[in-house]
Structure 1
Amino acid sequence: MNDIFDCRLLIVDDEPELRKMVNEILHREGFMKIISAANCKEARQLFAHEKPDAVILDVSLPDGDGFSLLREFRTMSAVPVLFLSARDEDENRLLGLGLGADDYITKPFLPRELTLRLRAVLNRAYFPVIFRRTEKPIFRLGEALIDLNSSTVTTKDNQLTLTAKEFALLEKLYENRGNIVTGDSLCRAAWGDDLYGYENTLMVHIRRLREKIEPEPSFPHYLITVRGLGYKLTEVEDK
């Protein structure tokens, strides 16, 4: 893979016209490796056999729902997942992001919005992490060993993979370890300069990050909230 346009994309939506439209939008942008599924069964088969680099996923599907499908995907892979859904309620958006989706776009959408968000997610997911030019740090938070080269968190019982957003947040916190990082700075690291509407989303991703790096996520010891100011990564042991 030389650039994001080499990525294989899986579109999962039960509406044939929407699948066709998204396919055409992505083709015009330069993405040529596109496969599609109309339901959960087809999506599972394609995900297992075709190994897509990213998934564009609807919530409402005829034989299940996108949230459950994302849970299944996350047991197998940390590839980027973008929800593209008519469900625009905040609770659905936060649920999707809380389950590990990298972005959530509501229908109707602007074609340019879709392509910009997809490109941003793919760049963050692959080129800074997998195709990096310099070594990323390896450090400990208590018993957890964090390797930003492989984007993994290893404990005595398990090895977990960071999603692209979790990686971006943790890298920013590590770069400023021991110091407070504002919410705006973290949002900018994970979502770019368009910060509007990501405050609640940030909280969801911080919670999920704590579930991977903290022994007791409900009582965080290493990733601390500094009320009214931001977050701080403490007691970092560099390797």
Structure 2
Amino acid sequence: MSEIKCQVASITPLTDVVYKIELTPPAPVEFKAGQYAMVKMGEKDLRPFSIANAAYDNERIELHIGAEPGNSYATEVLTRMQEDGEITLSANNGQAFLQSNGLPMVLIAGGTGFSYTYSILQQHLHSGDTTPITLYWGGKHASDLYLSEQLTELAEKYAHFTFVPVVEFAHDDWQGRTGWVHHAVMADHADFAAVQVYVAGRFEMAKTVRDDLTVRGLKAENLFGDAFAFI
């Protein structure tokens, strides 16, 4: 595992508890879209965070860190970056990266799991491959979907990209889908036999997605997500 010392270029709030971290490595970093960084907090304390930028955009590393109160795992990393102005990490971790095999792709993200799917989405759109790709992004509130406007614009620009925001606790003025994000996926797809699925979110969500979509024909070799290495 090759370690890289990165300078902290910027820390920008995306919501009240989610921050966009821009890191500058000493040289372009090789990784695949959908891989994650392991932030080194101690000799045996390595903490994973999905890389949000695409693999072609490799002169920087972008992380989206959810540092809500009580989440010391993330807030300690954020504090270290703020105080030291630098951080050591390895970049090319994980096997759930983008696989281009011609099958339509469904990306399912919960909360800041979006950063994983965002890297894959950007890489796919940049590649010129017009295989259909759909991103379902779920959050408790509409404000949690912090890049929804940009994603809507991308969907208008690229005919093969569809963006479906899903809000669990919607206000009356919300015009989009409501409830659990994977229920929206299942409402739109009856058969997953010829579909690739990429999942990022809490382990419980990933397990439920795997169980429910397997019943509808999803093949194990077409399901990707870092959680599946542990559950």
Fold in common (TM above 0.5): no
Flag the structure with higher helix content: 1
Flag the structure with higher strand content: 2
- Structure number with greater CO (CA < 8 Å, separation at least 6) is 2
Q: TM-score, normalised by structure 1?
A: 0.30
Q: TM-score, normalised by structure 2?
A: 0.31
